Structure formats: C-alpha cells, structure tokens
C-alpha cells in the first residue's frame, strides 16, 4: 500500500503545481481531500482513480455520494447522538445507505474477485486483496472461507474504511499545513529534516519515515490541537466507581478528547502550536490518557498506522517541492465550526510557492 500512497502523493504535488503556475491560492480541503479520497478508495477497492481531475469517474461520483450520505446521514447522526439506540436499529435490520450504493460496491468486489480467479492479478497489495487472501484454503484442506469474511462483509469493511479514513486524514492534513503556514520557523525546520533524510526529492520509504522525529512531532501536535473526533465513546465492561461517580456496566461513556487536548492543566498554553511537546524528552512527562487522537487500549483506531503513514507521505512530498504561506484569503485566527468532525468554520486557503523560487 506504500506504493499506492507514493503514487497519489506525486499526483498531489502535480495538482498543487497547477496552483503555483497560475499564482493562485489553494483551497486546502480540495487538494488534500482528493488525495485522501484517492488513497482510501484505491486501497479499499483496488482501483486507480483521480478524483480532482476526473470527477466523472463512476467510482469518484459514487464515493463522493457515499461520503456525503455516510458522514451526514440524519440516521447516522441520530445514532451518534443517541448511541444506546443502536441495538434497536440492528434488530430492525436498518441500512444507513441506499441500495444502489451497496450494489455498486458489491459489484466492484465481485468484479475484482472474478479478475483474480482468471489470473489477472497485478500483484499490488491493498485491503481488498488482503481480505480476499484470507479466504484461501489451508494445508489441512479445511476451507477458511467458512470462517473468513463473506463478499458482503468485505464490501462493508471497505466502505467503513473509506468513511473512517477520508475525513480524518484530509482534515488533519489541512490543519497541519495551516499550522506550518502560520509558523514559518516550524515549516523551515521540518523542510530541513525532510531534505536531510530524502535528498534530491527522493520518494520516502517506511523505514525513513519512522526515523523522522520532527515530522512525527508536528503531526502529533496538530492532532492534539485539532483531533478529528471531538469525543470518543466506550461501553463499560463492568460497574465501576471513579471519584465517587458510579458507572454501571453496559453504559456508554463519552470521553471529550478535544477538551482533554486543550486543558491547560495538562498542556500549558494549549492554543499555542508547539511540536516540542512531543519530543522524546517531553513525552515522558505526559499525563496518561490526556492525548487520545486515535483512542487508546485494545479498541483504539484500527486504521491509526495507515492514517499516520498516509499523512506523512503527503507531507514530505509537498514540503520537498513547496513552501506554504498565508494569503489574503487566509483567516487568522482560524475558527472551528464544532459541527460533526472538528471542521474549520470557513475553508482554509493558503498560497504555495515553489521552493526553487524561495531558495533564490
């Protein structure tokens, strides 16, 4: 899947270059949303799409509809607000998505499976391929397909991956480049790290990204300031008492991650963007469970590593070629809407400049 990310990161660079060539400001959610959607859709359904330049592609149009319906469906929002009603809807066999959506994605899974059975396998590794690989027979002759995912479950898992991965990744990247544009000293330091690990604009590798400490610090600090989910939910496994408050077994508990991330008791001057909070030395002083961008424990976000990797690939690719700056359309300070995901009240617009220009 790393190859998929690199492919779309290079496409992202070309898309930003179009704005640079025209000397136009860039609406960050447009280009970063396209990158995020292309990566998660390609990884989920083994397709190659270009949502920004080929908006009429059937997969692009269906995925955009899916994201619009899935993220802002009244029924889904109702369940988010009243999570205790979820079992009732499950018993009623309630579907959040129209049948034509489900049929489209089911046909995609079926088509890919048929191509593979004919021997038309490209060798690429993505989630759809991995889920189908789990259904091969083992050496004992027992068919794992009976225990593994069905076609419907594979389709459902792919859709969930798109819904969970698109908005969180695109929003975090948008906030991160806003932070870099408004903190040029941080941006310069990060560019220097990128250049030192990836000279001559080399494509990143997994091992190299793991070594880039300042990159990780910048991403983590952005996630602290702007967690994609303002709250988390967990069901208590047993009745417990915490500070005199009894939490019954089976009750849904809501954890306000945004409030924790911006509590001055744990994060001095929380409104300030300071990547050094996440240096190796300072991490040791963090109070446990006060930083929860992906949750924690055995039920933390299953796509956490994929999301982090996807973001870091995009960040390094962009910073190898460009410097971002505020422009007349950049609202400083930024305001949050507080509706649904943590979204900016107004679109974040920045100006990109080629580094070949800024270096002279």
Per domain, the residue ranges of the chain are: 2-358
Q: H-helix or E-strand containing 169?
A: helix 151-182
Whether 324 and 343 have beta carbons less than 8 Å apart is answered as no
Position 119 scores a pLDDT of 65
Q: What is the pLDDT of residues 89-129, one digit of tens each?
A: 666 665 667 777 788 888 888 888 777 777 666 666 677 77
- Dihedral sign for Cα 38, 41, 44, 49, please: negative
137 pLDDT more than 70: no
* Residue 71 pLDDT class (50, 70, 90 cuts): low
Output 162 or 316, whichever has higher pLDDT. Answer: 316
Separation CA 227–CA 248 (nearest Å): 28
DSSP-based three-state secondary structure for 40: helix
Separation in Å, CA 229 to CA 73, 286, 306: 17, 20, 17
* Residue 47 pLDDT class (50, 70, 90 cuts): confident
* Full-model pTM: 0.85
Mean pLDDT score, 207-230: 95
Q: What is the per-residue burial (b if ≥16 Cβ within 10 Å, else e) of 140-161? A: eeeeeeeeeeeeeebbbebbeb
Position 165 scores a pLDDT of 77
Task: State both tokens at 75.
Answer: 């029924």
27 pLDDT more than 90: yes
138 pLDDT more than 50: no
Whether 51 and 62 have beta carbons less than 8 Å apart is answered as no
Q: H-helix or E-strand containing 20?
A: helix 2-22
Mean pLDDT score, 166-175: 91
Separation CA 294–CA 297 (nearest Å): 10
Domain boundaries 2-358, corresponding CATH code: 1.10.630.10
324 labelled binding-site residue:
no
Separation CA 283–CA 286 (nearest Å): 5
312 pLDDT more than 90: yes
Separation CA 64–CA 52 (nearest Å): 11
Position 130 scores a pLDDT of 78
Position 260 scores a pLDDT of 95
Closest CA to 12 of 317, 323, 309, 352: 317
Position 145 scores a pLDDT of 46
Highest mean pLDDT among 37-51, 101-115, 192-206, 240-254: 192-206
Separation CA 296–CA 273 (nearest Å): 23
Output 1 or 74, whichever has higher pLDDT. Answer: 1
């Amino acid at each position: 899947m790393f190859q998929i990310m690199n492919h779309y990161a290079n496409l992202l660079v070309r898309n930003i270059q179009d704005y640079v060539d025209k000397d136009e400001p860039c609406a960050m959610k447009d280009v970063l949303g396209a990158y995020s959607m292309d990566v998660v859709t390609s990884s989920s359904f083994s397709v190659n799409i270009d949502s920004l330049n080929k908006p009429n592609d059937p997969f692009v149009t269906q995925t955009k509809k899916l994201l619009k319906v899935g993220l802002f469906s009244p029924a889904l929002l109702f369940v988010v607000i009243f999570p205790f009603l979820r079992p009732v809807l499950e018993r009623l066999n309630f579907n959040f998505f129209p049948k034509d959506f489900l049929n489209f994605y089911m046909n995609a899974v079926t088509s890919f499976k048929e191509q593979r059975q004919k021997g038309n396998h490209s060798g690429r590794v993505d989630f759809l391929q991995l889920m189908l690989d789990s259904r091969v027979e083992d050496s004992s002759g027992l068919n794992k397909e009976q225990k593994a995912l069905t076609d419907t479950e594979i389709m459902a898992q792919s859709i969930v991956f798109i819904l969970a991965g698109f908005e969180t990744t695109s929003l975090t990247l948008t906030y991160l480049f806003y932070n870099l544009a408004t903190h040029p000293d941080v941006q310069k330091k990060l560019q220097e790290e990128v250049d030192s690990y990836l000279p001559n604009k080399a494509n990143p590798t997994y091992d190299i990204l793991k070594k880039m400490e300042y990159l990780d610090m910048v991403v983590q600090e952005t996630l602290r300031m702007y967690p994609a989910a303002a709250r988390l939910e967990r069901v208590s496994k047993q009745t417990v008492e915490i500070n005199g408050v009894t939490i019954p077994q089976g009750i849904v508990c809501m954890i306000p991650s945004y409030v924790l991330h911006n509590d001055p008791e744990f994060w001095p001057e929380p409104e300030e963007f300071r990547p050094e909070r996440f240096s190796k030395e300072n991490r040791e002083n963090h109070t446990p469970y006060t930083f929860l961008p992906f949750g924690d424990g055995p039920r933390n976000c299953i796509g956490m590593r994929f999301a982090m990797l996807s973001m870091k690939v995009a960040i390094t690719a962009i910073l190898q070629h460009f410097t971002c700056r505020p422009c007349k359309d950049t609202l400083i300070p930024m305001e949050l809407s507080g509706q649904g995901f943590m979204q900016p009240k107004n679109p974040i617009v920045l100006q990109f400049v080629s580094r070949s220009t800024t270096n002279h």
